[in-house]
Amino acid sequence: MKIMDDELFFPNINRREDYLVKTTGEYYSDYSRYRTQISEDCGERCVYCDVLLEEIGYEGMVLDHFRPQKLFPDLKSNPENLVLSCPKCNSLKSDHWPEDCGVDDTFVGNVGFVDPFIDSKNDFFIVDENGVFIPKQPPSPYMEKLLSVNRVSRKLVRKKRILSEVIRRHYDDIIEDNDLSQQKLDAGIMAVGDFIEKAKRNQEKLKLIRTLME
């Protein structure tokens, strides 16, 4: 089962046109100054395992040099090479980079990484109902193995996100059903008794949903 809402996982993200610069027009050597801007541009989520900042208590995210600073020292302070990552993905990615890739290419054959600001992760991964990332095409199998994106903690977080979304949709459906019943009652095409009975059933469903959402 594929979760059809592409906004639930890997929504499209875009870099801002202008990052903070010094009066000379150069980027700040202390790249931590770009943390807030990079976090916003990345949608406050790890660009590798997709865990949200709020799902890890609003702490622990780090700035990752998408192109390793060890291999691309000139990009160390360039915010356009920075992405948001959880500590585990950052550690596992480390200085890994395809040998034949320069600045422009991010993967060659089966090896490398998907640039989250250029390529849609939904073209490379499917997310099933258990929160498992299923590779679709290279280099996603390489990323799945190297970054261990299906580690237990991340699958549980994603499964919880899916469950919350399912509950939210059921809640919206019930509210919409109540509104439709009210319209039918007002139009005289629904009996009062039927309206009251349906309202009671929906109220019980809403109570259950509110309990699950707590």
- Reported as a single tens digit per residue, the pLDDT across 58-75 is 988 999 999 999 999 999
Q: Is the pLDDT of residue 2 over 60?
A: no
Q: How far apart are CA 70 and CA 68, in angstroms?
A: 5
Instruction: State what percent of residues in the chain have pLDDT above 90.
Output: 74
Quickly state the pLDDT bin for 176 (edges 50, 70, 90): very high
Where in the chain are the domains? 31-147, 156-213
Q: 126 in helix, strand or coil? A: strand
Among left, alpha and beta (phi > 0; psi -120 to 50; other), residue 2 is beta
Higher pLDDT, 211 or 177: 177
| Site of tokens 């977080």 | 157
Alpha helices in the chain (DSSP H): 35-41, 87-93, 140-146, 152-186, 192-213
List the beta bridge partners of residue 82: 65
Quickly state the pLDDT bin for 6 (edges 50, 70, 90): low
Instruction: State what percent of residues in the chain have pLDDT above 70.
Output: 96
Quickly state the pLDDT bin for 3 (edges 50, 70, 90): very low
Please provide the average confidence, as pLDDT, over all residues in the chain: 92
Per-residue pLDDT reduced to its tens digit, 85-114: 999 999 999 999 999 888 899 999 999 999
In this prediction the pTM is: 0.84
